[in-house]
Amino acid sequence: PFEKALMELIDQRGFDARMLAQKTKVDETWLRSLIAGNRVDCEIDALSRLAVDLGIEVPLFVGRAVEAILRRE
C-alpha cells in the first residue's frame, strides 16, 4: 500500500514526520494523517514538495498519492 511505501521512504531518507513536514513546509498533522491512511485534502503542491524532498519522480509519487487519497473512505 501507498502508506507503507511512504513510511519506508521516509525512514530510508532518515526523516521522521516532523522533520519532513518542516523541510517540505507541509502541515505536520496533514502529513501524519497521510502516512496513517486517514482522509486528507488532496494538496498537489504539498505532495509535489514531498516527492522532491524524498527524491522520487514527482508525477509518479503524486499520481499514486492522489489515487490512495481518493480510495480512502
Q: What is the pLDDT of residues 30-40, one digit of tens each?
A: 999 999 999 99
Whether 27 and 21 have beta carbons less than 8 Å apart is answered as yes
Whether 9 and 15 have beta carbons less than 8 Å apart is answered as no
- Confidence (pLDDT) at 18: 96
Backbone angles phi, psi at 43, to 5 degrees: -100, 95
Q: Which residues of the chain have pLDDT under 70?
A: none
- Confidence (pLDDT) at 5: 96
Vertex 51 angle, CA 27 and 14, to 5°: 80
Spatial neighbors of 39 by CB under 8 A, at least 6 apart, are 33, 69, 72, 73
